[in-house]
Structure 1
Amino acid sequence: MTEPRTIDTLLARYSESHRNPANELIHFVCVPVIVLSLLGMLWWVHPLVAVAGAAAALAYYWTLSRPFAAGMLVMGLVMLGILASLPPITVLPLSIAIFVLAWAGQFIGHLIEGKKPSFLDDLRFLLIGPLFVLGFLYRRFRVAY
């Protein structure tokens, strides 16, 4: 019998605390905007720092799944494009506001779920959350990952 791929194991473990439909919906909204806000905070330091942060995450995603890495590349480019289009003075305050509100949403989702966030057990799940959301889209459009 073949061992499950690391990505399949990580997604299965992540989904254990994301089964409630309301919590899933909250995550589908909040996870991408948290990624955007994190990139925004890095962008505020310097745009190349945001690009480097995105590249580092992509390198990890590449080790887990090339199709997921491709999807995250597209998502990252869109987010970096959004940040590039914003007036520079708005990037940091907007990113902080989005970050705080989205994390509040995440914790409300976990209160509804009745389970603690996965990253409290394993910090890798901070990077798996976006793949959980992307995985939903991939399954919906029958894209293998």
Structure 2
Amino acid sequence: MPGKELTAWLDEYALSHQNPTNIIIHKICVPAITLTIIAMLWRLPIIPKHIRNTVSIGKSGLINPSLIFVPVLAFYWNLSSSMAIGMTILFLLVIISLIIMEKNHVRIFRLALIIFILAWIGQFIGHEIEGKKPAFFKDLQFLLIGPLWTLSHVYKFFGIDY
């Protein structure tokens, strides 16, 4: 991804998202997919509890696979500091929500998996309506750009530069 500017990524991503219905579907499904990936990684039991809980809030261990999102934030920072800040805020809000959900004994992984599947079904319905293949079929890197494309609409709405 080196060398390509944020606007070039967003413009290219937007080429396969022109239909108003598909755009609405993506504005719902892209954040849902992003949030559920973080949630599923949060609950993935691949790190031993004694390591997971070395840094914790209550009984919620913070050392977990969702930290894979940190290098993604660094990639976002290279594209746009304001977008990276926005994504970092969202990431932290998701983590806080997951901690609250854990305290309330919500079955996070199951819930996230169901939402993840439904959101992907929505994505493919949107692209069927659009009549174009998803951007990530051309380049897997667009899986990282989708959340920024969605956030860019929020930034435009509020007049925030990126």
One-letter code of the match for 2:35? L
Q: 1:73 aligns with which of 74, 88, 100?
A: 88
Please state whether the residue corresponding to 2:152 is helix, strand or coil: helix
Please state whether the residue corresponding to 2:31 is helix, strand or coil: helix
Structure 2: 5+ residue runs without aligned partners?
46-61
1:53 matched to 2:65? The reply is no
Q: Which has the larger radius of gyration?
A: 2
Counterpart position of 1:100: 117
Structure 1: 5+ residue runs without aligned partners?
none
CA distance in structure 2 between the aligned counterparts of 1:89 and 1:138, rounded to whole angstroms? 32
Alpha-carbon contact 2:22-2:130 (below 8 Å) kept: yes
Aligned-residue sequence identity (percent) comes to 42
1:11 matched to 2:10? The reply is yes
- Aligned counterparts, 1:32-43, within 5 A: 32-43=31-42
CA distance in structure 1 between the aligned counterparts of 2:37 and 2:71, rounded to whole angstroms? 13
Please state whether the residue corresponding to 2:64 is helix, strand or coil: helix
Q: 2:99 aligns with which of 61, 84, 88?
A: 84
CA distance in structure 1 between the aligned counterparts of 2:65 and 2:151, rounded to whole angstroms? 21
Alpha-carbon contact 2:39-2:66 (below 8 Å) kept: no
Q: CA-to-partner distance for each residue in 1:19-54, whole Å, 9 max, x for gaps?
A: 111101001111111111101111012642344122
CA distance in structure 2 between the aligned counterparts of 1:12 and 1:129, rounded to whole angstroms? 11
1:136 matched to 2:153? The reply is yes
Q: CA RMSD in A?
A: 1.6
Q: CA-to-partner distance for each residue in 1:74-119, whole Å, 9 max, x for gaps?
A: 1111111111111356011011101100000000000010000000
In the superposition, the TM-score normalised over structure 1's length comes to 0.92
One-letter code of the match for 1:37? T
CA distance in structure 1 between the aligned counterparts of 2:127 and 2:66, rounded to whole angstroms? 31
CA distance in structure 2 between the aligned counterparts of 1:144 and 1:10, rounded to whole angstroms? 16
Alpha-carbon contact 2:21-2:126 (below 8 Å) kept: yes
In the superposition, the TM-score normalised over structure 2's length comes to 0.82
Alpha-carbon contact 1:26-1:105 (below 8 Å) kept: yes
